[in-house]
Structure 1
């Protein structure tokens, strides 16, 4: 199905966020719509945009956007990762969709990839306009960043905030190594880190809106965040979880199983793709095809 792409902007907690609205051919009144949420360090033009376009080809209105403080969206300090803002971004994306005459406000879903999956889940707990929740290699970004000496990181963040309050420049760091040479020098051989460098820093997935920069003090907010907190009480919407069984340091396989077991949803499914890694589900044709096919059935049933 032919898809029309529209560049849009919408308000989110006082900021203008940049998005791509994907409209399937022959849009009629009261269509189902899906908000597509990108991973940490990513942008609307990468994996979230791939899923958004493919779901639009199957008849869904989809919206992928750059998170607050990142990409082409507004917000300072630049490159901050604030989980509360990320959750509010999703809610504001839904606000925007409900202003469109051709969107059925009672048929809105959310899809998140990697950290975007965790944010999608966390938002759905407090946002009842979300009727169906999908995650692809969804990860709990707080858990990921609590794995290695979080207290030491928090101590350093405190010192950096003090320095910045006294006039020092804002501290920007990299999410991942800038290239394979840098990764190898650091002795990083885990499959997720290897494939992250391959995806984000080469022609495979590189985007100017995803420059591998992170405002370091914002990581204290990430470390204190638990994407799945209260899922056993508040996450009741239908839930589709998709992971690959090739496990790496980011732990999406682990998080997928934890979320499945914890969620209060009575309609939930965990789909595990054999021989597939975290980043295979970002853009590799066959894993993505299988994921989209599963998601389309899910959203068609519950939206």
Structure 2
């Protein structure tokens, strides 16, 4: 059955007159149809370098990933911003499931699709992941040798936060056991009801004592700045039992074997900055492939600044990075 995709412009950012835009679909190896926005520089000729973009974790392509994709298309790249499996306009039932394996495959399937486009040079493909999809982009770079350059922006390691809690505050066997116990009990409740409990959407209204990072998320997902009706984070969130697969699968296990180029970007004041610092340190530890790896910390920037603040997101640096390694 053909998927009906929204054709009118319903992004959280204005449409550029410098690029052509269209909706595309393609399948991943799990048989899920991914829906994506393709951005192509106007009057582009020949085979172009291409970049696949996704994230943040719980967002849709009409939000931050689309903004990144459109901006990079203005700079000469063919780009795709895609909805992950089970979310947005992509297929997959039940809705709002996450999976480290399937979501890594989503990036790889997008590379498959890009590799066979007539106007793409398959030897010049990169990927870019935002927030939790920054960690998944790095995880994809661990396995996919076709990817020549990877950027992660304001990165989350979702398996780490699911396993250890925020700021590693629940990093004990006992805490993990209690979490697993609760999630497995929820599986029984879901099975009885025939529907899946959702959680993780941004709280609204904000409690007065909400920590800054919760206010930071609210300022994006729950306001005109970034709200989108198909966004999990703007609404009810994920199928909560998905945390079990994240707890049982360690992302970035082989990150120090990535031979291709990697640029990790994070805001200095972001609550999540420790994810990028630790991921970079682990990536270059005992590695023979360090010359093309870089950690860039943006002074004074908080987590969601790198979602949509074009005066803070270092697009010139990202562009020069891709130009260096996608050649």
Considering the TM-score relative to the shorter chain, is it more than 0.5?
yes
* 8 A contact 2:202–2:221 mirrored in 1: no
Structure 1: tracts of 5 or more residues without a match: none
Report the secondary structure of 2:193's partner residue: coil
Which aligned segments of 4 or more residues in structure 1 are displaced greater than 4 angstroms? none
Is 1:276 aligned with 2:292?
no
2:178 pairs, out of 142, 152, 177, with 152
Cα distance in structure 1, aligned partners of 2:270 and 2:177: 26
1:135 pairs, out of 143, 152, 165, with 152
1:206 pairs, out of 206, 227, 235, with 227
2:114 pairs, out of 82, 97, 119, with 97
TM-score, length-scaled by structure 2: 0.85
Structure 2: tracts of 5 or more residues without a match: 1-16
Is 1:86 aligned with 2:103?
yes
**Which residue of structure 2 aligns with residue 188 of structure 1?**
210
Is 1:11 aligned with 2:27?
yes
Cα distance in structure 2, aligned partners of 1:198 and 1:174: 19
* Per-residue Cα deviation, 1:76-109 (whole angstroms, up to 9, x for no partner): 1101111111100000011111121110111000
**Which residue of structure 2 aligns with residue 244 of structure 1?**
267
* 8 A contact 1:176–1:197 mirrored in 2: no
TM-score, length-scaled by structure 1: 0.92
The root-mean-square deviation of aligned C-alpha atoms, in Å, is 1.5
2:193 pairs, out of 145, 168, 175, with 168
Count of residue correspondences: 292
* Per-residue Cα deviation, 1:197-224 (whole angstroms, up to 9, x for no partner): 1111111101112043211111111222
- How far 1:269 sits from its partner (Å)? 1.2
* 8 A contact 1:176–1:196 mirrored in 2: no
* Per-residue Cα deviation, 1:142-176 (whole angstroms, up to 9, x for no partner): 112222433222111211223334x3232322314
Report the secondary structure of 2:300's partner residue: strand
- How far 1:292 sits from its partner (Å)? 1.0
- How far 1:15 sits from its partner (Å)? 1.3
Is 1:226 aligned with 2:247?
no
Is 1:297 aligned with 2:320?
yes
| More displaced 10-residue stretch of structure 1: 219-228 or 25-34 | 219-228
**Which residue of structure 2 aligns with residue 36 of structure 1?**
53
Report the secondary structure of 1:64's partner residue: strand
Cα distance in structure 2, aligned partners of 1:29 and 1:150: 52
Cα distance in structure 1, aligned partners of 2:120 and 2:310: 29
Cα distance in structure 2, aligned partners of 1:223 and 1:176: 19
* 8 A contact 1:69–1:75 mirrored in 2: yes
Cα distance in structure 1, aligned partners of 2:102 and 2:220: 25
Is 1:50 aligned with 2:67?
yes
**Which residue of structure 2 aligns with residue 106 of structure 1?**
123
- How far 1:258 sits from its partner (Å)? 1.4
**Which residue of structure 1 aligns with residue 92 of structure 2?**
75
**Which residue of structure 2 aligns with residue 118 of structure 1?**
135
